A and B are shown apart, each in its own frame.
Chain A
Amino acid sequence: MKERKDMTADSTFAGEAKQLFDESVEGLDGQTRSRLNRGRQAALEELKTGRPVWVQWAPAAGLAAAAIFGVVLWTGNQPVDQLTPEASVADFEILLTQDSFEMLEDLEFYSWIDLDEDADAALEPEDIVG
């Protein structure tokens, strides 16, 4: 008997809760209804195209990625004004040699020899032909 009464009370309570809920649903404002409508249209658009909306932007995204890649490649090929590692190592070796100080004293002489070697090298091909 008590169980039956409880069930009736539960049922009445659920009915009252449902009524309140339905009233709150009916009273939704226009802005909210409009946003729901827009959401529904977006969902139906997915059905029409048969593919996700983001897929439609894939070609544009691909082009943008390719452009960025191209720019990165182009800037990467620009000559950079810096000492090459070989040159740095050569300089270091010169500094470590015992006679480096003597070389510094006769700097003019060594530069003259260097110029002379360059001039000989420039003349060499003509000599061979001649």
Chain B
Amino acid sequence: MNACVASFAVSCESGYRRGVSTLQREQELNRFLAEVEKRALRIAEISVRDRDEALDLVQDAMIKLARKYADRSIDEWTPLFYRILQNRVRDWHRRQAVRNRVMVWFGRSGNEDNDYDAVATAPDPKGRTPDEQLQSHEAMQGLEVALCELPARQREAFMLRTFEGLDVAGTATAMGCSEGSVKTHYFRAVHSLRESLGEHWQ
């Protein structure tokens, strides 16, 4: 009888611990996603030039991280999350390329609904005069256009290093390449951007 009670108590204890552990994990993941989601959205938006599409891509990435990698250590989450997101962005570009080819075959342009306007969708920074806001919008719009003209790998390296603040190792994990490649892509990206935006940018 005592043995039964003891085994029941142990079972309850382990179940309780497992429940607490899951709850704790959920809270940690919630904090992580809340912290990273807005920057991830803007990075995806710059890549695909469409906010709705970017929202879908970010949500997909969040779901996949929760489903597959929630048990990994928290330090691994950022590069893993961005790796998933970058893969989603690449898939999206592939699908768009196929869609555009099909549309051309049917005699229609695939970009008919791609009327993205960075100024119209750009958010209003707080506590700034309209002139300052406009100046910031124009500078950001210029940067986004210049980023879109970069090769995809250079753009990824620049955004992950500069916007997300990942180190070289984290960026390499997120991009699925060597640290040397990250350094090369980043170096070329910065120089191309500086060249295309000019010295008097901002």
* Consensus secondary structure, chain A interface: helix
Q: How many interface contacts (CB-CB < 8 Å) are there between A and B?
A: 104
Supposing A24-B122, A43-B65, A46-B63 touch, asked if A14 and B162 sit within 8 A by C-beta, the answer is: yes
- List which B52-72 residues lie within 8 A (CB) of chain A: 55, 58-59, 62-63, 65-67, 70
Q: How far is the CB of A55 from chain B (nearest CB, A)?
A: 11
Q: Residue B125 contacts which of A16, A26, A48 (CB distance < 8 angstroms)?
A: A26
B161 to chain A, nearest CB (A): 8
Tell me if B140 and A25 are in contact (CB < 8 A).
no
Instruction: Verify A44–B190 contact, CB threshold 8 A.
Output: no
Interface residues of B in 28-64 (CB under 8 A from A): 29-30, 33-34, 37-39, 41-42, 51, 55, 58-59, 62-63
List, in ascending order, chain A residues with CB within 8 A of B143's CB. 17, 20-21
| Most B C-beta atoms less than 10 A away, residue of A18, A35, A48 | A35
Q: Which residues of A contact B70 (CB under 8 A)?
A: 47
Instruction: Decide: B162 and A9 in contact? CB cutoff 8 A.
Output: no
B163 touches A21 (CB 8 A): yes
Q: Once the chains bind, are A25 and B42 in contact (CB under 8 Å)?
A: yes
28 A-B residue pairings within 8 Å (CB atoms): A9-B194, A10-B194, A13-B194, A17-B163, A17-B193, A18-B163, A18-B165, A20-B143, A21-B42, A21-B163, A23-B123, A24-B42, A24-B123, A28-B41, A32-B51, A32-B55, A33-B38, A35-B55, A36-B58, A39-B58, A40-B30, A40-B62, A43-B33, A43-B59, A47-B25, A47-B29, A47-B70, A48-B22
A residues with a Cβ closer than 8 A to B are 9-10, 13-14, 16-18, 20-21, 23-29, 32-33, 35-36, 39-40, 42-44, 46-48, 52
Chain B residues engaging chain A, CB cutoff 8 angstroms: 22, 25-26, 29-30, 33-34, 37-39, 41-42, 51, 55, 58-59, 62-63, 65-67, 70, 122-126, 136, 139-140, 143, 161-163, 165, 190-191, 193-194, 201-202
